[in-house]
């Protein structure tokens, strides 16, 4: 039986076909529109027509689209339009609410106007524009962008640049105090949507301030949705001075498989966004389980709620780690041991309202069917050391959450601390005598194989089971028969949600060093460090408001 994602009125047809023992896979709505508007090539057209002969749902949608186009043609023959044009247009479109994933016949201006192919400028009811929507109004972007799309910090851009027969069309902009996002599409000369992939680098997308200075070291992200829309984003949460206004400069030299030059500048103004922003300076701290946590501030913007905090070791915990590190360096060397320091102290916490309802969480064990910590409504996180990490300097972090509608007063609830510690576990084995099984702190693992991989490095594969909330085994090192140490430089591990009869989760890990090229007759695996899960008996609950 074929799989499908049948929705709405299509379910009636789905039931009919399931009685026959199969369910059809229908083309996307945009493919149907391309057919009506003549954008399909001969092969695509023939394939779709064969489908229409056996699918009454898609045939009905084609009828809706044809009537819609006829309505547009008849109504727009003359620039003189009736006063109720927009209302009639909406009524005519309601049977088939399509997504705006297609070559547009109109674009929206700041005055909610429509520019048609014939050059007629029309005033349109804002509800009509909203019906057509865009990627920021869909559930394929995070909820923060969806919320922002319905506010005055979202503006249509509707700018395009064409080279080599390829058009880059930027549709919408969301300019918030925490991030700036824009959506775009890429089309060919026939208006067909192409893959929107772009090479993400600082030269392709630049944010320039009002003094014509390029903003340096910004975090950037990019996403593709159904290979039709691209969304590019600048993060502003970690800049020293607030960004107020300026331009986004786009300059691409490769697009949709072709070399060329696509350059565009888009004005950005965050004045409106700053009017919606609320900042609460907290400056409160706590010491628990060897950790020192300070909540600095909370920034509530339209599209994100950003929590700024600093976490470090207490003086006692820091001194203990320094002593342990000296002992490890004597055996394994400074370079190998210090790599463990970058898997830093971390926390797990919840965001609650005044009634104790959980609105979000980060890095906590709250879902019993998961073998690892999870997050909810968490959008992104960033951090940087406030000093030398080799001296166990604290780290400043910013965690961004989806804002909750009518969330009221928020509370931060610290419930878990993940504390790094050096380990003394080792296991010696001969590769030709595998498999070999061992147990360690909730783990039961089997060394399955040791081989030379495609990169010509020795690779070790282990799998087995891990009990819930066992420590994370962070850093390993291989010692060969001659006593030479080989740092693990490549590691891939996973925890499955499947459990065994003892309630343990499936676990696997593959790791390799880049200095060991031949499988030794005998070898020892040393665990350098691990991360303990310390759930707090008494949670720390702090208001995120003043």
Which range scores top for mean pLDDT: 28-37, 118-127, 264-273, 401-410?
A: 264-273
Q: What is the pLDDT at residue 211?
A: 94
β-partners of residue 490 are 512
The per-residue pLDDT of the chain, averaged, comes to 82
Which of 48-57, 202-211, 229-238, 245-254 comes out lowest in average pLDDT? 48-57
Preceding amide of 435 cis, omega within 30: yes
> Which of the 8 DSSP states describes residue 341?
G
Which of 123-127, 332-336, 346-350, 370-374 comes out lowest in average pLDDT? 123-127
CB contact at 8 A, 171 and 184: yes
pTM attached to this predicted model:
0.74
Which of 129-133, 192-196, 536-540 comes out lowest in average pLDDT? 129-133
Sheet holding 305-313, edge to edge: 278-288, 291-300, 305-313, 395-401, 378-385
d(C-alpha 26, C-alpha 402), whole Å? 34
d(C-alpha 41, C-alpha 31), whole Å? 11
CB contact at 8 A, 264 and 250: yes
Put residue 337 in one of left, alpha, beta given phi > 0 → left and psi -120 to 50 → alpha. alpha
The pLDDT tens digits for 9-45 are 333 333 333 333 333 456 666 677 778 877 777 777 7
Q: What is the pLDDT at residue 506?
A: 94
CB contact at 8 A, 248 and 270: no
Phi, psi of 5 (to 5 degrees): -120, 75
Domains and CATH numbers, the chain: 10-130 (no CATH), 134-274 (2.60.40.1630), 275-420+536-543 (2.60.40), 426-532 (2.60.40)
Top-confidence residue, 66 or 24: 66
The pLDDT tens digits for 277-293 are 999 999 999 999 999 99
d(C-alpha 443, C-alpha 465), whole Å? 6
Residue 122 has pLDDT above 70, yes or no: no
Percent of the chain with pLDDT over 90: 62
Q: Which is nearest to 128 in space by CA: 92, 94, 88, 90?
A: 90
The pLDDT tens digits for 149-183 are 999 999 999 999 999 999 999 999 999 999 999 99
């Amino acid at each position: 039986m074929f799989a499908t994602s049948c929705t709405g009125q299509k379910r009636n047809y789905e039931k009919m076909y399931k009685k026959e023992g199969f369910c059809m896979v229908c083309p996307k709505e945009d493919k149907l529109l391309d057919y009506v508007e003549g954008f399909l090539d001969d092969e695509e057209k023939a394939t779709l027509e064969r489908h229409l002969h056996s699918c009454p749902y898609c045939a009905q949608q084609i009828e809706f689209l044809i009537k819609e186009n006829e309505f547009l043609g008849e109504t727009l023959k003359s620039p003189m339009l009736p006063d109720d044009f927009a209302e009639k247009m909406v009524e005519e479109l309601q049977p088939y609410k399509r997504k705006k994933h297609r070559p547009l016949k109109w674009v929206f201006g700041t005055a909610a106007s429509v520019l048609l192919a014939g050059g007629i400028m029309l005033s349109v009811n804002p509800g009509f524009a909203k019906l057509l929507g865009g990627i920021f109004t869909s559930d394929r972007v995070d909820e923060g962008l969806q919320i922002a799309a319905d506010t005055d910090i979202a503006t249509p851009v509707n700018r395009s640049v064409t080279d080599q027969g390829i058009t880059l069309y930027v549709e919408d902009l969301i300019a918030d105090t925490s991030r700036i996002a824009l959506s775009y599409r890429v089309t060919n000369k026939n208006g067909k949507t192409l893959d929107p992939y772009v090479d993400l680098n600082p030269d392709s997308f630049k944010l320039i301030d009002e003094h014509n200075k390029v903003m340096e070291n910004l975090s950037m992200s990019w996403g593709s949705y159904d290979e039709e829309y691209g969304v590019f984003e600048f993060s502003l949460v970690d800049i020293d001075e607030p960004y107020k206004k300026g331009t986004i400069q786009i300059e691409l030299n490769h697009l949709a498989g072709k070399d060329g030059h696509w350059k565009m500048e888009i004005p950005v103004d965050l004045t409106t966004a700053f009017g919606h922003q609320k900042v609460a300076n907290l400056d409160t701290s706590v010491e628990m389980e060897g950790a020192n946590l300070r909540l600095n501030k909370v920034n509530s913007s339209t599209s994100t709620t950003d929590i700024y905090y600093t976490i470090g070791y207490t003086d006692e915990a820091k001194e203990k780690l320094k002593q342990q590190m000296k002992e490890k360096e004597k055996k394994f060397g400074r370079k190998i041991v210090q790599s463990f320091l970058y898997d830093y102290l971390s926390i797990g916490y919840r965001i609650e309202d005044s009634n104790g309802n959980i609105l979000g969480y980060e890095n906590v064990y709250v879902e019993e069917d998961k073998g690892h910590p999870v997050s909810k409504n968490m959008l992104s996180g960033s951090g940087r050391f406030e000093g030398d990490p080799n001296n166990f300097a604290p780290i400043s972090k910013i965690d961004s959450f989806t804002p909750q509608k009518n969330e009221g007063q928020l509370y931060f609830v610290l419930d878990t601390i993940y504390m790094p510690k050096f380990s003394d576990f080792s296991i010696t084995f001969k590769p030709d005598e595998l498999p070999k099984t061992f147990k360690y702190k909730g783990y039961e693992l089997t060394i399955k194989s040791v081989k030379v991989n495609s990169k010509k490095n020795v690779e070790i594969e282990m799998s087995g089971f891990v009990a819930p909330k066992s420590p994370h085994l962070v850093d390993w090192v291989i010692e060969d028969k001659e006593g030479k140490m080989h740092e693990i430089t490549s590691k891939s591990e996973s925890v499955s949600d499947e459990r065994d009869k003892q309630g343990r989760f499936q676990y696997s890990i593959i790791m390799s060093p880049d200095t060991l090229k031949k499988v030794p007759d005998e070898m020892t695996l040393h665990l350098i460090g691990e991360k303990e899960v310390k759930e707090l008996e008494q949670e720390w609950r702090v208001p995120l408001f003043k």
